[in-house]
Amino acid sequence: MSGQRSNHKASVLTDGKVLITGGKHYGNDLASAELYDPSTGLWTNTGNMSTARWQNTASTLANGTVLIAGGQDKEPRLTSELYDPSTGLWTKTGNMADARYRHTASVLTNGKVLVAGGIDIRPLSSAELYDPLTGLWTKTESMKDARMWHTASVLANGMVLVTGG
């Protein structure tokens, strides 16, 4: 990488490259993004996100774009944005209803993304669905318990198992 970072996200793209986004560097919140090409072992800088963020989620969608959702810099974020690997550009997309960080994001079999839990001022039980076709978020049924730093796994039957937190 071009510099040190922690609390960042790594997403494997459809072409096998890895997109590294955001994080922190010695207390500074990062908006920068880099690509790693495992076939050459080289790192290259790509466009910056519209805002610095860490403890967000990064999900590779069926169309090859990467959805970045939530996270924090000075405050919890409800914003989300998309990275297009074919252009190297970022575009803003719909905002979540709830600002959150330390949440999970699961790409469902229908292509939508389920975001669950996390923390704003206190741990959250709320969940939202992102529709890549419309760029909009909709609230969905909340979890029984508020959770942060949990895991979420998409099962073979399409259900999402949320554990811990």
* Amino acid found at 130: Y
Question: What is the reported pTM?
Answer: 0.95
Report the pLDDT value the prediction gives residue 142, as an integer from 0 to 100: 98
* Amino acid found at 43: W
Report the pLDDT value the prediction gives residue 35, as an integer from 0 to 100: 97
Q: How far apart are CA 28 and CA 162, in angstroms?
A: 31
Secondary structure letter of residue 135 according to DSSP: T
Q: Over the stretch 61-105, which tens digit does the pLDDT of each residue have? A: 999 999 999 999 989 999 999 999 999 999 999 999 999 999 999
Domain 9-163 coded CATH 2.120.10.80: yes
Report the pLDDT value the prediction gives residue 3, as an integer from 0 to 100: 83
Query: Among 79, 72, 67, which Cα is nearest to 131's?
Result: 67
Residues in the chain predicted with pLDDT less than 70, given as ranges, are none
Report the pLDDT value the prediction gives residue 129, as an integer from 0 to 100: 99
Q: How far apart are CA 75 and CA 120, in angstroms?
A: 9
Please give the share of the chain, as a percent, with pLDDT higher than 90.
96
Residue that has been written with the tokens 């330390």 in this structure: 102
Report the pLDDT value the prediction gives residue 13, as an integer from 0 to 100: 98
Residues 6 or more apart whose Cβ sits within 8 Å of residue 156:
none
